[in-house]
Chain A
Amino acid sequence: MSVLKYESAVRAPLVDGHKTYHQVTEDIIRPIEAAPSRLWKIGFGISVALLLFGVYSVYREVTYGIGQWNLNKTIGWGWDITNFVWWVGIGHAGTLISAILLLFRQGWRTGVNRAAEAMTIFAVMCAGQFPIFHMGRVWMAFFVLPYPNSRGPLWVNFSSPLLWDVFAISTYFTVSLLFWYAGLLPDLATVRDRAIVKWRKRLYGVLSFGWTGSTKHWQRHESLSLVLAGLSTPLVLSVHTIVSFDFATSVIPGWHTTIFPPYFVAGAIFSGFAMVQTLMIIVRKVLNLQDYITLEHIEVMNKVIVLTGSIVGVAYLTELFMAWYSQNPYEGYAFFYSRANLLSPYGWSYWGMMACNVISPQIFWFKKLRRNITVTFFMSVIVNVGMWFERFVIIVTSLYRDYVPSSWSAYYSPTIWEIGFYLGTFGLFFTCFFLFAKWFPVIAVAEIKHILKKSGESWKQEQGVLEDKKVDEFEEVMHH
């Protein structure tokens, strides 16, 4: 699939370092064949430890009840659903990069799409833990699946946004996984073909589904990618729209607002890109992939961040405006007291959100800062902290003081097991990511080769050489 339509005079090359095809393969596949580095082992160890702590936290919650968390009669959702929305949001960048940018023929995506897609899958896996384990009776979770059953049959409630979530998230996960895996096939075959150890040949042989690189394979692969991209594109918009419906369709002031779908989608892309930045900056450093994930990539993603951050900012201001304009006292209270008043119990979370999501990304209007890796890394973390605040603000500050003042809640802060569950999903995420980075090509080798300027450059160079050559020499070359 050629994505390079024309040669840009202004655009910098997408891959640096005048790589040859072989070099590309070497650079990306080598780490898979080598023994894991010390750094990898340490990182993996920490991730697994976090994961195990998370498993224990969840074990406690499942065995002893949701009372292991500090939720209460007024605040029914807290860290659990905050983390759910946060992780789902993070996943969005991967899909956006792989699907929408593919359809828009954005060549730069190839440097980051594989890792971003993996991130999507792992983030959705993490996200999925929360709606599952926030259930009081998780062993009955299968009740949410609409299948013909012997209980009547008793069907699910199709008007519940939580049920829409079930469909949205599971569809999203399935399509993302397929898309990611389809993209992996040629690269897995490359690993197989390079393998000198028997077990690796066999393992990757199975994983690559017998890919031979025939034209037919490539043709099917391209069609499948397009179809999946077509399927994923609406998902980028729909998943977070549906997640936002969890709140928007309710009657709670601060939740009941029509602005949520676009606002959530923008926020999701915002946080997703920030997470991609965080990961890519680490990966390019650790795996020495600076030539593939270039400053160009980082800059262009920073542009997306400043755009979506500003969209989110406008959404925040719109909410405040509507709270005033509607003159609905309950909405007014939620926005002007529970949130915008810095001195109210959770005022810190609202202003933390504002500072992280709206104000600080504005530094990316400056090219110098956009191209500064340290600043970018720092900002990417800030943005994700801010987006966590945003979900916390939406969920907790709306719930803790809603309609009936008698039920206003005492201060909610999480228990160690609530935090442990969150940390556990970090453990899950990074465990998966470390495994992925070790056993799979983190950059789409086949796709990078499509955009390798090297091919064009070499061709041009050769043409130039040819012009100087004599006919017999040329003929000799042609004979080869």
Chain B
Amino acid sequence: MSKSTIWQSFGQRNQTEAFEELGQDEFREDLPMELDDKGILDAKTPRRDFLKYLGFSTAAASLAASCEMPVKTAIPFVNKPDNVVPGVANYYATTFTQDGDVLSVIAKVRDGRPIKIEGNDMSPITQGGTSARAQASVLDLYDTRRLRFPAQIVDGKTQEIPTFEAFDKTINEKLASLGGAPVVILTSTITSPSTKKLVGEFIAKYPGSRHVTYDAVSYSGMLLANEATFGNRAIPSYHFDNAKVIVSLGADFLGTWLSPVEFSKQYSKGRKINEEKVELSKHYQFESILSMTGANADERFTHKPSQEGVVAAALYNLVTGAGASGVDEKLKAGLEKVAKDLKAANGEALVVSGSNNTNVQILVNAINSAIGAYGKTINWSVTSNYKQGVDGDMAQLVADMNAGSVGALFILDANPSYDYPAAGKFNEGLKKVKLSISFNAKLDETTQLCQYSLPNNHYLESWGDAEAKSGYQSFIQPTIHPLFKTRQWQDSLLKWSGSTKDYATYLKEYWMEQVGSIENWDAALRVGVRYPGEVSVSAGSFNGAAVSAALSACSVAPQAGKWEVVLYQKVGIGTGSQASNPWLQELPDPVTKATWDNYAMISAAAANELFGIDIRKNGDSDSYEVNPGKPVIKIKANGQELELPILIIPGTEKNTIGIALGYGRHNKVGIAVRGVGKNVYPLASVSASGNRVYMVANAEVEKTGEKYEVAQNQVYNYYIDSLGVKRVEVVKETSLASFKANPEKFKHERDHLFEDYAKKSGDYRNEGSLYDPRLNDRPGIHWGMSIDLNTCTGCGACVVACNAENNIPVVGKKEVMRGHEMHWLRIDRYYVNKPGGDPDDLADVVFMPMMCQHCDNAPCENVCPVAATNHSSEGLNQMTYNRCIGTRYCANNCPYKVRRFNWADYTGADSFSDNQVGIISKVTLDMNDDLTRMVLNPDVTVRSRGVIEKCSFCVQRLQEGKLTAKKEGRPVKDGEVKTACQSACPTNAIVFGDANDKESMLTKSREHSPLRMYYALEQIHVLPNVNYLAKIRNTDEVEEHAGHGHAEEAAHG
């Protein structure tokens, strides 16, 4: 340069020192990437340290909120807001609340649009874990069927009321003319302390008014039992992490019961294996159908749904020294074992029940008290607020409504017209209410029958707070301006009670009293959570007075018929309040692997009896599995009659039918619910004691000649193939006793491979190939993943997180049925039977997350004629969509079958016009709407028709992390970049990192578990970068021959 006669500036010509220095820098000018006025090269703080920016942006936001009227319309930037850098995401701590669930989350906001939900690591309750529903909630924000304006409802249709002022005026007039008739506020559980205060203040203004809490799926029995035995109508804190013995009587605590994310986190601590000293918590499950939690249990016992009381009574008797009665031999033996374990655990044990029967819950409390669980695994000094509805209150309200004694009814996040067993009565009563206003976000079943609708904001548009447990608060702050003319319902309450404040101010004032200063409030919002420094533990004082009555009530099972029905919640759909979410509808159920429907889960034995399908016979099982059309049964129960297809779920109690709640929603709720499943809430009933009962003890079942197609993403359910060979190269699982007896078993299986194919060096990686070993010498970063099958519960949070992060299209039921689903990450579920051949006798269920294994010797790469898929120097198997011509050869040659092809123009990214309508499903079409497309992650290409796609290890996140590190002149730190699935996982089953970093969590995960670590299908020498840790279930049986099937002799390739 110094000799150059061509120059661009005087500096260059004169070769000044400053110029020389400038020449050293990669970028001559500061890049607009840092917010603190420092140049990029001077910046010390990692950009991803989002808390800092949260502080800035939150302070600005709260300042703006308190000083100015909010801007009502969205306009493009003329002047760039200070805290928005195009292409750089902002992160805001907020809280996902739904039906009383509280999850502290972080919303990722790109260019003003929330696009992704992450768990908030700061929360001591969920510790960064999320659920499928929380992950999917961001899509609800952009739901095209959200109500968009305040309206009067006439004949189930909305008539817009032009302004909030006009609406308020009408309502105020109506409220004034009630003539003293009470106002009832009907909501699902409210966990927000400020809202509760506000509701209290509102009620005070309207004498005789009240607040009724109504949960779609009731926990009334538990609340009442706790009132009876502890004098406190509340739910204590559970600590599954402290329990060495966990007994669940039908509680799906990992999937849907109370606070599944919190419990999954706790539970996973007892399921991690330290190979030096193997210890596992012991989990017993008693249930009627195979729940996700049951699938994770070490030992499972099934009973008829009507026997739940008998089982609880028998266990109580056994724990307190009496004998069990009323249960069969198998169950009795199980209960005796459980009782022995419970007593031996010395208080480090926990019994939970999913029953809504007060008596059963009283017995469970008595058992917990007898085994000393209170104060050890159950803490009464911190109570949970997740569920507060007591069924009697609702029954009273319905009675009052029908009596015409309710003046006004405000409904928020409650939908009794759909999910109340006596919905007809409620609807009748609703007609007699003088003023009914729904704050629900959708034109749902209840809202259609109300007089007015004033849609509430989505939580991502809202201010708020939530108190999951006493003392543990989590805050909600808006991440986007309301998309539509919607208003937070708290604002309405304030308006209608004559206050001039808005809720944001109210909230701030409420918390200023608690936290003292604006700085503290800002800090609390920034972190998103607030919790006590020290937690006191209290056993509560157990009052056993009610126990003997409960015992005698439970000791005899109610009259039951041959068939019984149990209603359950699915992990994805839950109560059905989020049923219009396409991501959740397309999330395969962890147990049944079915999407887009509910169905009758029946046992293998019952299927054999009804339809002669013997799944032990290859012919029968083949024809059942390979055809999506499943036989339909007619179920008569509780005065209702409905037809549903069966799905054979081994491990279901014989003659028991499990049907999921939350389906059969009204068409107006959303496109995704149309034609999806049947509503089975009418099958629930109200017991004599006033609690809702989610089972039918006396049902009739008939077979029909019809078939109905169910879309499952997995049709074969075992890792033993139809010839009886265990595919141990795919799944490795054993019992704890076998593992202890033969700890080297899995390692030996791998060693075999090394002996056979790497005789000289023992280096299977290099010697096992004909190619030049230097090809495998990869310095620098080498990304890899380690998945612990022992802690994966199959909940599916990762699957939805992956959908959201990677813009994975929803394809709809018909396409799933045709094997066209696009999920990059799936969770394979394999049943493991006990020896003896009874398919319903399950030894274990293995959940195996499966995504692209990023093979270093990838079979997909060499077969692509145009080199559209290739290997990065960092071990990633990359897809170049632009280059892909769609031969699908790579998908065929993938032994893991993780590659997905764009069979149609699912995304609208295709260059052909008019090729979507009539071809892709209506749901997919709806997802192509401009509104819904706002959820797309701008960092990830939207794939067009005709190209293959697959897991990229979230390469956009890796790039971002590397860029940050590069700007700061340092290597990428371990744990700095997380894949979407990893960060969503509530049990930390997924570890991701650099395999070349000897100190990384990934390396440690592999090195600390040499006895369980394996690569799936290692024998084909594709050299995957994803490894699994074998599943060990805590049982005592020792496998014969230590599982030496001839599968282990699998020849190379």
Contact = CB atoms under 8 A, between A and B. Distances in A.
B722 A344 contact: yes
B888 A77 contact: yes
B626 A411 contact: yes
A345 B945 CA distance: 31
B627 interface: yes
B97 interface: no
Contact of B886 (A135, A154, A407, A408): A135
B903 interface: yes
A155 interface: yes
A329 interface: yes
Contacts of A330: 727, 1050
B829 interface: yes
A398 B862 CA distance: 20
Contact of B627 (A134, A159, A401, A411): A411
A157 B718 contact: no
A409 B820 contact: no
A317 to B, nearest CB: 20
A405 interface: yes
Interface stretch (B38-46, B136-144, B414-422, B889-897): B889-897
B739 interface: no
Contacts of B817: 410
B628 A410 contact: yes
A250 interface: yes
B865 to A, nearest CB: 4
Contacts of A345: 622-623, 626
A471 interface: no
Contacts of B723: 329, 332-333, 336-337
A326 B1052 CA distance: 10
B867 interface: yes
**Which of B627, B714, B895, B1045 counts the most A-chain CB atoms under 10 A from its CB?**
B895
A134 B863 contact: no
Interface residues of B, number: 80
Nearest to A155: B867
Interface stretch (A33-41, A60-68, A279-287): A60-68
A76 B893 CA distance: 9
A27 B301 CA distance: 86
Given A65-B904, A252-B895, A410 B725 contact: no
B850 interface: yes
Given A162-B863, A337-B721, A343-B619, A65 B888 contact: no
Given A67-B903, A405-B719, A136 B727 contact: no
A19 interface: no
Interface string B1038-1053: 0000000111011101
Interface string A329-343: 111110011000101
Contacts of A155: 867
B421 to A, nearest CB: 37
A399 interface: yes
Contacts of A336: 723
Contact of B885 (A141, A327, A329, A399): A141
Contacts of B889: 76-77, 160, 162, 246
B721 A409 contact: no
Contacts of B653: none
Contact of A159 (B862, B919, B947): B862
Contact of B865 (A67, A156, A337, A399): A156
Residue among A72, A163, A343 facing the most chain B CB atoms (10 A cut-off): A72
A66 B893 CA distance: 18
A159 to B, nearest CB: 5
A332 B1047 CA distance: 10
A344 B859 CA distance: 28
A256 to B, nearest CB: 6
Nearest to A70: B818
Residue among B717, B865, B903 having the largest count of chain A Cβ atoms under 10 Å: B865
Contact of B862 (A74, A157, A403): A157
B600 interface: no
A250 B859 contact: yes
A256 B18 CA distance: 64
Given A76-B889, A159-B862, A403-B727, A329 B826 contact: no
B883 interface: yes
A396 B110 CA distance: 45
B77 interface: no
A73 B945 CA distance: 14
B373 interface: no
B617 to A, nearest CB: 9
Interface in B100-124: none
B718 A405 contact: yes
B626 A73 contact: no
Contact of B896 (A134, A163, A404): A404
Interface string B909-922: 01010010001000
A135 B1016 CA distance: 30
Given A65-B904, A76-B889, A337 B722 contact: yes
A404 B946 contact: no
Nearest to A327: B1049
Contacts of A161: 863
B79 to A, nearest CB: 40
Interface in B174-220: none
Contacts of B905: 64-65
Interface residues of A, number: 65
Which one of B883, B893, B919 has the greatest number of beta carbons of chain A within 10 Å?
B893
B892 A399 contact: yes
Interface string A245-265: 010011110001000000000
A323 B829 CA distance: 28
B1017 interface: yes
Contact of B895 (A63, A246, A341, A402): A402
Contacts of A333: 721-723, 725
Nearest to A69: B903
B721, B864, B1016: which has the most chain A beta carbons within 10 Å? B721
Contacts of A401: 716, 721
B1053 A251 contact: yes
Given A63-B915, A67-B820, A343-B618, A73 B887 contact: no
A249 B887 CA distance: 16
B344 interface: no
A351 to B, nearest CB: 15
A30 interface: no
Interface string B630-662: 000000000000000000000000000000000
Contacts of B1017: 403-404
A344 B622 CA distance: 7
Given A333-B725, A405-B727, A160 B719 contact: no
A151 to B, nearest CB: 8
B900 interface: yes
B919 A66 contact: no
Nearest to A66: B903
Contacts of B1045: 329
B741 interface: no
Contacts of A256: 1053
A137 B716 contact: no
Contact of B891 (A70, A76, A159, A328): A76
Interface string B871-901: 0000000000001111111011101110111
B909 to A, nearest CB: 12
20 contacts: A64-B905, A65-B905, A65-B910, A67-B903, A76-B889, A76-B891, A136-B887, A141-B885, A143-B866, A157-B867, A160-B867, A250-B859, A327-B1051, A329-B1046, A329-B1047, A329-B1049, A404-B896, A405-B717, A406-B714, A408-B625
The 5 closest A-B pairs by CB, nearest first: A136-B886, A72-B819, A136-B946, A67-B903, A76-B888
Interface of B: 618-619, 622-623, 625-628, 714-719, 721-723, 725, 727, 729-730, 815, 817-821, 826, 828-830, 848, 850, 859, 862-867, 883-889, 891-893, 895-897, 899-905, 910, 912, 915, 919, 944-948, 1016-1017, 1020, 1022, 1045-1047, 1049-1051, 1053
